[in-house]
């Protein structure tokens, strides 16, 4: 194979395309080589499959995008506290950090703070777990709250002029028939039955209405159609033969090969 | 405590429950009716009869420069030469799309005034050496140039003459067709300088990928047949052309307007600059179809519309696909062929357009459940019941 001014020509008499398949897909073969290759494709299933695979791979590579960041990643980074013992972002290469979030845009105030802010990338815990100083970070506070939560009572509702209702989920009333049951449980069961009955009745009424409407719609009066695609293809090329792009013989060749 | 009230309480509760049941049912029916009505008006999913089609604006004709006019003239003469000359040769047809490719080798012979014969000698995609109908005859003078198609080409694309090249042992002039928004050429045409016959052409998609090649590998032109030295423009004989068009099932503008009024979908243009330039009625296999043909001068698309319900059991070689968000049955040959139902009509698209253009063309047409489906039946029922209570209908 030789290369001349960006065009590749096939000099060997290989019965199969081999590496020429990639060159064919890349469109760098000269006319005679490309026509020989295309002619060969009309006879060789293996080479045709290889060319298709190459073409598909090229399309997929062309459609690849850069790695996507998780949603809200930039926001989590901006929410980081000012104090942290970790590495300063100024010590990091720009392309590893904020520059990737807003290409071409100047960082806002928070973004500027981020540059001089230590890298406690906990929003960035996905990247590398960096220890947080307890009591100095929102994340640490959340973690502490999470640890003490089971032993604290849960405040269900509170407000001005209203007594806080405190529930201990792990404590049962002695008179409760089951956990979580309260007074009026029988009434609640009754209302559940009523809701279920209402839903079932509503469903039945809806089905009845749907059936009535469908019955009013009447029966299908359409005849089955199997489009004669081969004839249509020939007719298409018959009509478009006057345009420079199409070719009247293409339809005949297509119909001859694929449609009876 | 009032005893009669106590006795009435279960009855009251039963009444309340009955009202609740009716209310829930009515609410569900109202929601479903709204959904059916919305589906019927959104995206032309129920019936094309209820939908008016807007047309995509067609770009106005653009004045051609001198070199562009010369290039368009070369293309026009190429069509005239193909119709007027007696030639035979081996021709290669190849086409690609995202779904696959097809290449066919055929012997082609054209006899002026009689027709063109195409004999497939080998073909890819599983039909190797066994074409179902190896020889096909086409009608006479298919290559007659179409001024309308060339005018659309000149309005959509830039046309220029490139340097001459040697091709298949002949001196050829290369005409390059480009598009303003495309990085590379949209098409290249090699035209024999001696006879004016189009020796080869290549079409490209927006990304610069080759999507079609049609090329003579060898060509013999009968020297006795005359070489046209002036463009054979059929438009110069408008009366004769109109008569032949009518004989060929061509539909007059008045008839097209009445079809639109009757509910047939007849867009004046399709996305990508394809404009409607032919409308015919085609009879095939005992049924009549409306053929609407669109072109931007380079790529073409014909949509065949037939009233009826799609019989999917008689589509050999077709496989279900989603194109432009529409479920279709597709076949990849030298042309891309797509079939789908829409309302009370079956649509068949035959096109050589690239994939991205096809994905924009298909959703323009009605699509969705046919009359046999429950949804469309419910929609008809709602229409009918609505007409019962509508005092103005």
Contact A52 B101 (CB under 8 A): yes
Q: How far apart are CA A40 and CA A232, in angstroms?
A: 29
pLDDT 10s digits, A168-194:
444 444 444 444 444 545 555 667 888
Give the dihedral of Cα atoms A65, A71, A76, A78; nearest 10 deg. 50
Give the dihedral of Cα atoms B95, B96, B97, B101; nearest 10 deg. 100
Interface A-B: count of C-beta contacts within 8 A: 335
Taking CA atoms, A87 is separated from A75, A102, A119, A188, in Å, by 19, 22, 5, 58
pLDDT at A10 over 50: no
Three-state DSSP class for B198? strand
CA B24 to chain A, closest CA, distance in angstroms equals: 5
Give the dihedral of Cα atoms B125, B129, B132, B135; nearest 10 deg. 120
Residue B171: the pLDDT is 93
* Residue B118 CB neighbour total at 10 angstroms: 28
Q: In what order do the strands lie in the sheet with B274-284?
A: B269-270, B274-284, B287-295, B300-307, B345-351, B336-342, B326-332, B319-323
The percent of residues above 70 in pLDDT, for chain B, comes to: 75
Q: How confident is the model at residue B36 (pLDDT cuts 50, 70, 90)?
A: low
Q: Chain A contacts of B125, Cβ < 8 Å?
A: 48, 257-258
SS (H, E, C) B331-388: EECCCEEEEEEEECEEEEEEECCCHHHHHHHHHHCCCCCECCCHHHHHHHHHHHHHHH
Q: Which residue has the tokens 């179902």?
A: B132
Q: Chain B contacts of A218, Cβ < 8 Å?
A: 377, 380-381, 384
Q: Considering only the beta carbons, identify the residue of A209, A244, A248 that sits closest to B116.
A: A248
> B278: part of which helix (H) or strand (E)?
strand B274-284
Report field, pTM of the whole predicted structure over 0.90: no
pLDDT at B374 over 60: yes
Q: How far is CA B95 from the centre of its chain?
A: 17
Mean pLDDT to the nearest integer, A140-158: 43
pLDDT 10s digits, B82-95:
878 889 999 888 88
Give the number of residues written for chain B. 393
* Residue B285 CB neighbour total at 10 angstroms: 10
Q: How far apart are CA B141 and CA B122, in angstroms?
A: 26
Q: How confident is the model at residue B183 (pLDDT cuts 50, 70, 90)?
A: confident
pLDDT 10s digits, B266-323:
998 898 888 887 888 988 877 889 999 998 888 889 999 998 888 888 888 899 999 9
Contact A243 B149 (CB under 8 A): yes
Q: Which tokens belong to B323?
A: 């194109």
pLDDT at A22 over 80: yes
B152 touches B275 (CB < 8 A): yes
Mean pLDDT to the nearest integer, B229-257: 51
Query: Could you give the maximum distance between any two Cα atoms of chain A, in Å?
Result: 95
Tell me, yes or no, if B256 comes closer than 8 A to chain A by beta carbon.
no
Query: Using alpha carbons only, what angle is made at residue B381 by residues B380 and B384, rounded to the nearest 5 degrees?
Result: 85
Contact B104 A215 (CB under 8 A): no
Residue A78, C-beta contacts closer than 8 angstroms, at least 6 positions apart: A110, A111, A114
Q: Which tokens belong to A71?
A: 């949603």
Query: Using alpha carbons only, what angle is made at residue B231 by residues B225 and B236, rounded to the nearest 5 degrees?
Result: 115
Which parts of B66-192 are beta strand (E)?
87-97, 100-111, 115-123, 135-138, 158-167, 170-178, 185-192
């Amino acid at each position: 194979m030789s290369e001349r001014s960006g065009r590749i020509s096939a000099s060997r008499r290989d019965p199969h395309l081999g590496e020429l398949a990639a060159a064919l897909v890349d469109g760098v073969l000269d006319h005679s080589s490309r026509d020989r290759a295309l002619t060969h494709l009309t006879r060789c299933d293996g080479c045709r499959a290889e060319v298709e695979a190459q073409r598909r791979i090229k399309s997929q590579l062309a459609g690849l995008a850069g790695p996507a960041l998780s949603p809200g990643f930039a926001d989590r980074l901006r929410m980081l506290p000012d104090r942290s013992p970790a590495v300063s972002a100024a010590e990091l290469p720009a392309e590893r950090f904020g520059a990737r979030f807003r290409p071409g845009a100047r960082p806002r105030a928070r973004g500027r703070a981020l540059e001089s802010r230590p890298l406690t990338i906990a929003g960035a815990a996905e990247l590398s777990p960096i220890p947080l100083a307890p009591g100095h970070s929102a994340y640490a506070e959340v973690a502490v709250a999470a640890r003490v939560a089971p032993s604290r009572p849960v405040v269900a509702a509170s407000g001005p002029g209203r007594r806080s209702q405190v529930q201990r989920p792990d404590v049962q009333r002695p008179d409760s028939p089951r956990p979580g049951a309260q007074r009026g449980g029988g009434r609640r069961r009754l209302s559940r039955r009523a809701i279920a009955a209402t839903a079932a009745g509503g469903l039945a009424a809806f089905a009845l209405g749907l059936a009535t409407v469908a019955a009013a719609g009447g029966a299908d009066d359409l005849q089955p159609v199997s489009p004669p695609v081969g004839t249509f293809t020939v007719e298409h090329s018959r009509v478009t033969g006057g345009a420079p792009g199409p070719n009247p013989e293409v339809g005949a060749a297509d119909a001859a090969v694929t449609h009876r | 405590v009032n005893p009669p009230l106590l006795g009435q309480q279960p009855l009251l509760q039963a009444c309340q429950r009955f009202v609740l049941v009716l209310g829930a049912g009515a609410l569900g029916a109202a929601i479903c009716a709204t959904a059916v009505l919305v589906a019927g008006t959104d995206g032309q999913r129920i019936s094309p009869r209820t939908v008016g089609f807007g047309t995509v604006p067609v770009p106005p004709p653009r004045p051609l420069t001198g070199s562009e006019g010369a290039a368009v003239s070369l293309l026009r003469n190429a069509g005239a030469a193909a119709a007027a000359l007696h030639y035979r040769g081996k021709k290669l047809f190849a086409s690609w799309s995202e779904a696959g490719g097809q290449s066919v080798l055929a012997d082609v012979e054209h006899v002026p005034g009689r027709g063109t014969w195409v004999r497939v000698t080998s073909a890819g995609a599983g039909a190797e050496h066994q074409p179902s109908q190896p020889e096909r005859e086409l009608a006479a003078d298919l290559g007659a140039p179409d001024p309308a198609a060339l005018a659309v080409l000149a309005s959509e694309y830039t046309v220029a003459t490139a340097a001459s090249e040697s091709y298949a042992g002949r001196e050829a002039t290369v005409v390059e067709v480009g598009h303003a928004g495309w990085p590379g050429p949209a098409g290249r045409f090699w035209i024999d300088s001696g006879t004016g016959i189009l020796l080869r052409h290549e079409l490209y998609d927006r990304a610069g990928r080759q999507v079609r090649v049609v090329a003579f590998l060898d060509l013999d032109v009968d020297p006795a047949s005359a070489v046209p030295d002036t463009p054979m423009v059929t438009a110069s004989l408008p009366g004769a052309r109109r008569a032949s068009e009518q004989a060929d099932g061509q539909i007059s503008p008045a008839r097209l307007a009445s079809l639109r009024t009757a509910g047939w979908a007849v867009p004046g243009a399709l996305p990508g600059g394809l404009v409607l330039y032919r409308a015919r009625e085609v009879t095939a296999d005992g049924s009549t179809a409306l053929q609407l043909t669109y072109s931007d001068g380079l790529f073409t698309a014909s949509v065949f519309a037939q009233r009826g319900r799609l019989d999917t059991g008689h589509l050999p070689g077709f496989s279900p696909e989603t194109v432009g968000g529409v479920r279709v049955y597709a076949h990849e040959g030298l042309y891309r062929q797509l079939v789908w139902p829409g309302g009370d009509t079956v649509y068949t698209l035959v096109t050589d357009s690239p994939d991205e253009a096809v994905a924009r063309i298909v959703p323009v047409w009605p699509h969705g459940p046919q009359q046999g489906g429950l949804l469309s039946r419910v929609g008809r029922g709602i229409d009918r019941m609505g007409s019962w209570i509508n005092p103005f209908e």
